[in-house]
Amino acid sequence: MTDAPAVASLSYEQARDELVQVVGRLETGGEPLETSLALWERGEALAARCQEWLDGARERLAAAQNGSAQNESPASPEDAE
């Protein structure tokens, strides 16, 4: 686990794919306790990274929708000034 890339540098897809692998290893079992704890900690960090990406995407979509709605709204008299 020491050669794993820093979680903060991972794209959403990279973090998600690694998280799937970590969960698979934990579900399979058979790992020593220390390894299982390290996997769990890595999984938590990966899940948080995925959530950061999803939150950012949600904010970008909301901003785009708000910008689109403002562009479609009828012009007010103040806009002509």
What does the pLDDT read at residue 67?
A: 83
Which amino acid is located at 16 in the chain? R
At 43-58, the pLDDT tens digits run 999 999 999 999 999 9
Which parts of the chain sit beneath pLDDT 70? 1-3, 72-81
Give me the phi and psi of 28, to 5 degrees please: -65, -35
What does the pLDDT read at residue 76?
A: 52
Residue 40 CA, chain-centre distance (Å), reads: 17
Structural domains of the chain, with CATH: 10-71 (1.10.287)
What does the pLDDT read at residue 78?
A: 54
